[in-house]
Amino acid sequence: MGKSPIISVKNKDNMANLHLGTCSKTQKKVSFYEAEQHLQQLASNEGKSNAFIVRITSSEIDPLSWVFLNVPFTSPIEEIDLLLRKIWLEGSEENQNPISYFIIDPKNYFSVDLFDGKDDFTMKIPAKDVFALGQNFKHYYDQESSILNVKVVGEHHSEDLDRVSILLKNDEPVIPCNKCAAQATHVRTIDRVCLCSKCLDNDVSEELFAMSGCKTTAEKAALVEMMDEQTEEEEVEDFDLEDDDFFDYFGVEDEPEYLPLFDSPRSGIKGYLGPKQ
């Protein structure tokens, strides 16, 4: 499977607002670009280090999805995987509980035991045995349909040693429509372009016209009239743009795909209907 889809944000006038997050300790709003410094400042007033600060992002440049985690030295890296599944990765998909893994040179660490109980190849291994300050690596999920960037950015003294926990995470981004800059509600799967509800309706109409062979204004008007008449005859009140029957009803094949936007790197992947949390 190919690389993880990246949401396309062409209107960057309000880009700064897309990268704000909330610190779990201070409740302060912090930009992604200031987050590492903010957490290091908090760490400077603490005791001896017993946990890593780990940054995870959906892309290497201007990520829309990002999180900084508290990872106790003794916690298995499996806890990171489970948390990522909860907040971002697992949703209403056909493939339940897919395999995921970290590649931390030179080894792969899997979410399932593929090597007959050899723990050094599973995520059961403690973070202190594989992590190092400044280390960069990747997390892969569901046949590499989602790829996340991971970096160990610091160490600190944590009072929360029971589990991996969130230090700072992006707020749900208000993504601008790529066509008019209003708030986007959906993503077009073919190119990851974000659209508001109005532009989505227009986009669906243009796709329908193109696939039906309508080129002139008169042809388009005739198709719309026919659709209206058929809708009235069948007493169909509303069509769901995400319903396959919408295009089947009018005899159109290979319909475009539009999916709702979510605060997740998996927005735009077919079958993903939002995080479980």
Q: Is pLDDT of 3 > 90?
A: no
Q: Is pLDDT of 109 > 50?
A: yes
64-99 pLDDT, tens digit per residue, is 899 999 999 999 999 999 999 999 998 765 456 789
Q: How far is CA 143 from CA 6, 62, 140, 146, 273, in A?
A: 16, 24, 7, 8, 18
| Domain locations along the chain | 15-170, 186-260
Question: What would be the CATH architecture of the domain defined by 15-170?
Answer: Roll (3.10)
DSSP H helical ranges for the chain: 32-43, 78-84, 197-212, 217-233, 245-249
Write down the pLDDT at residue 223: 47
Percent of the chain at pLDDT exceeding 70: 69
212-233 pLDDT, tens digit per residue, is 555 556 654 564 555 555 545 5
* Cα gap 244→252, rounded to integer Å: 10
